[in-house]
Amino acid sequence: MKKYLWPSIKLTALLIVLLAGLYPLFLAAVAKMAPGKGDGVTVTHNGRIVGYENIAQKFTEDKYCWPRPSTVNYNAAGSGGSNKAPGNPDYLKTVAERIDSFMVHNPTVKKENIPAEMVTASASGLDPHISPAAAYVQIARIAKARGIPEDKVKQLVDANTKAPVLGLFGPAVVNVLKLNIALDETK
């Protein structure tokens, strides 16, 4: 037993230094080189910070593009999904309520044309992006609420659509916050 005690203590001390000291310092240094310097990339409008590029915000007015629903009410202090199975009765009730609400605000959209992401929350509850299809189904509502042509709203959606990385990796996405800022800047 004595034979293994001293090597175990040395190994434990070494791993504490490496994993609780040097590794976190290395990650902090890498983060400082990233956009936002490890504090997140802020989005500014009219000289003030209005949000973060990678954290969703709640928009419920008809004149705005809506993000995915959030199980944490868009609170970035703690992310999380519902963790309910797709067949869970409570979950199905919540989704049905979201579909009904979406259809009330978007009467031109048929139930079967509602993208699933508009009625289901993401795993984090904070996804700032939606698919172009999810933005397109909201165009009629936004255009009507703002009194602008649908083509203009579509142009703004397209202008705020980020293509897949290198044209291959990941889906095309629309940042809801940036789109809504562009909508507010439209006369």
> Which of 160, 96, 170 has the alpha carbon at shortest distance from 134?
160
| pLDDT 10s digits, 37-68 | 777 777 878 888 878 888 888 898 999 999 99
Per the CB < 8 A criterion, the answer to whether 74 and 126 are in contact is: yes
Instruction: Output the pLDDT for position 114.
Output: 94
Check whether residue 161 and residue 119 sit in a common domain: yes
Check whether residue 33 and residue 53 sit in a common domain: no
Check whether residue 61 and residue 152 sit in a common domain: yes
Check whether residue 77 and residue 158 sit in a common domain: yes
Check whether residue 145 and residue 170 sit in a common domain: yes
Instruction: Output the pLDDT for position 179.
Output: 94
140: pLDDT strictly greater than 80 = yes
**5 in the Ramachandran plot: left (φ > 0), alpha (ψ -120 to 50) or beta?**
alpha
**Number of domains into which the chain is organized:** 2
| pLDDT 10s digits, 143-182 | 999 999 999 999 999 999 998 888 889 899 999 999 999 9
Check whether residue 20 and residue 49 sit in a common domain: no
| pLDDT 10s digits, 34-45 | 877 777 777 878
| pLDDT 10s digits, 75-134 | 877 777 778 888 889 999 999 999 999 999 999 999 999 999 999 988 887 888 999 999
Full residue range of the structural domain in which residue 28 is found: 1-39
Dist. CA 53–CA 11, nearest whole Å = 42
Provide the 8-state DSSP code for 109. Answer: S
- Give the helix/strand (H/E) hosting 175: strand 173-175
Q: What's this model's pTM, rounded to 2 decimal places?
A: 0.79
Check whether residue 77 and residue 9 sit in a common domain: no
Check whether residue 56 and residue 103 sit in a common domain: yes
Check whether residue 60 and residue 24 sit in a common domain: no
For the beta sheet containing 129-130, the strands, ordered from the edge strand earlier in sequence to the opposite edge, are 129-130, 173-175, 161-162
